[in-house]
Amino acid sequence: MKRVKEMLGKVLGVMLLVLAAYASQQQLPAGSSPAATSTTAPVATPATSAVQMVDYNKNLAPTTRDDNYRTTYEIFVYSFRDSNGDGVGDLNGIRESLDYIEGMGFDQLWLTPVHPSATYHKYDVDDYYAIDPAFGTMEDYEALLADCHARGIRVLMDLVLNHTSDTHPWFVAATDYLRALPPDQDPVFEDCPYVWYYTFSREQYDGFVPLEGTPWYYEARFWSEMPDLNLGNEVVRDEVRNLVRFWLDKGVDGFRLDAVTSYVTGNPDANVEFLRFLTQACKEVDPNCYLVGEAWTDRASIATLYASGIDSLFDFPFADSGGIIRLTLNGSYTATDYVRAMTLAEEAYRGANPAYVDAPFYTNHDMGRSAGYYAQDDGPLTKMSYAMSLLMPGNSFVYYGEELGMKGSGKDENKRAPMYWTADAAAQGMCAGPPDMEAVQMKFAPLDEQTADDLSIWRWFVEVIRVRRAFPAIARGETTAVDSLCDEGVAAFVRHCEGEQDVLLVMNLRDTAAERDLSTLDGAWQLSAVLNTDTQPITLDGANLTLPAYSIAVLTPAA
pLDDT tens digits, one per residue of 44-60? 666 689 999 999 999 99
pLDDT band at 6 (very low <50, low <70, confident <90, very high): very low
Question: Could you tell me the strand order of the sheet in which 503-508 lies?
Answer: 478-481, 490-496, 503-508, 551-557, 525-532
For the chain, what are the domain ranges? Answer: 53-162+237-473, 169-219, 478-557
311-340: burial string, b at 16+ Cβ within 10 Å, e else: bbbbbbbbbbbebbbbbbbeeebbbbbbbb
The beta strands (E) that lie in 195-333 are given as 200-201, 208-210, 217-219, 254-257, 290-293, 312-313
pLDDT value of position 382: 97
Fold classified for 53-162+237-473? TIM Barrel (3.20.20)
Our answer to whether residue 517 is catalytic in this structure is no
pLDDT band at 40 (very low <50, low <70, confident <90, very high): low
Q: Output the pTM of the full model.
A: 0.92
Count of Cβ atoms closer than 10 Å to residue 299 Cβ = 18
pLDDT value of position 26: 33
Furthest-apart CA atoms within the chain: distance in Å: 96
Our answer to whether residue 74 is catalytic in this structure is no
pLDDT value of position 552: 98
- From the centroid of its chain, how far is CA 469? 16
pLDDT surpasses 90 at 367: yes
- What is the arithmetic mean of pLDDT over 232-241? 98
pLDDT tens digits, one per residue of 263-277? 999 999 999 999 999
Contacts of 120 (CB under 8 A, 6+ apart): 78, 413, 434, 435
pLDDT tens digits, one per residue of 434-447? 999 999 899 999 99
pLDDT value of position 64: 87
pLDDT surpasses 90 at 28: no
pLDDT value of position 1: 36
Residue 379, phi-psi category: left (phi > 0), alpha (psi -120 to 50), beta (remainder): left
pLDDT value of position 13: 38
The crossing angle, in degrees rounded to 10, of helices 268-285 and 234-250 is 40
Measured distance CA(417)–CA(430) in Å, rounded: 11
Count of Cβ atoms closer than 10 Å to residue 173 Cβ = 15
Contacts of 362 (CB under 8 A, 6+ apart): 318, 319, 320, 323, 325, 370, 385, 386, 388, 389, 398, 399, 402
Distances (CA, A) of 362 to 289, 313, 558: 24, 14, 33
pLDDT value of position 240: 98
pLDDT tens digits, one per residue of 180-216? 999 889 999 999 999 999 999 999 999 999 999 999 9
Task: Name residue 74's amino acid.
Answer: E
- What is the arithmetic mean of pLDDT over 120-143? 98
The beta strands (E) that lie in 409-489 are given as 478-481
- From the centroid of its chain, how far is CA 104? 14
Measured distance CA(321)–CA(298) in Å, rounded: 15
Domain 478-557 belongs to what architecture?
Answer: Sandwich (2.60)
- What is the arithmetic mean of pLDDT over 281-302? 98
pLDDT surpasses 60 at 22: no
Residue 255 phi, psi (nearest 5): -135, 140
User: Pick the catalytic residue: 147, 258, 377, 463?
Assistant: 258
pLDDT tens digits, one per residue of 313-343? 999 999 999 999 999 999 999 999 999 999 9
Whether 140 contacts 133, CB under 8 Å? no
pLDDT surpasses 90 at 20: no
Question: Could you tell me the strand order of the sheet in which 544-547 lies?
Answer: 514-517, 544-547, 539-541
Q: CB pairs under 8 A, 24+ apart, for 442-445? A: 442/405, 442/406, 442/407, 443/371, 443/372, 443/405, 443/407, 444/371, 444/379, 444/382, 444/404, 444/405, 444/406, 445/404
Whether 145 contacts 98, CB under 8 Å? no
Helices assigned H by DSSP within 425-471 = 447-450, 457-470
- What is the arithmetic mean of pLDDT over 211-223? 96
pLDDT tens digits, one per residue of 423-432? 999 999 999 9
CA quadruple 386, 391, 392, 398: dihedral, nearest 10:
40
The crossing angle, in degrees rounded to 10, of helices 268-285 and 299-306 is 50
Q: What mean pLDDT is reported for the chain? A: 92
Q: Is the dihedral of CA 316, 288, 277, 109 positive or negative?
A: positive
pLDDT surpasses 50 at 245: yes
312 has which bridge partners?
Answer: 292
Residue 158 phi, psi (nearest 5): -80, 115
The crossing angle, in degrees rounded to 10, of helices 335-352 and 299-306 is 30
Helices assigned H by DSSP within 376-415 = 380-390
pLDDT value of position 47: 67
Helix, strand, coil proportions of the chain in percent (round to 5)?
Answer: 35, 15, 50
pLDDT surpasses 70 at 42: no
CA angle 357, 360, 362 (to 5 degrees): 170
Closest to 161 in 3D by CA, of 222, 119, 96, 71:
222
Between residues 48 and 66, the one the model is more confident about: 66
pLDDT band at 30 (very low <50, low <70, confident <90, very high): very low
pLDDT surpasses 60 at 118: yes
pLDDT band at 122 (very low <50, low <70, confident <90, very high): very high
User: Pick the catalytic residue: 99, 102, 294, 403?
Assistant: 294
Identical fold between 53-162+237-473 and 478-557:
no
Percentage of the residues of the chain whose pLDDT score is greater than 70: 92
- What is the arithmetic mean of pLDDT over 127-135? 98
pLDDT value of position 48: 83
Measured distance CA(527)–CA(554) in Å, rounded: 6
pLDDT tens digits, one per residue of 77-89? 999 999 999 999 9
Give 523-549 as a DSSP string. S-EEEEEEEESSSPPPEEETTEEEE-S
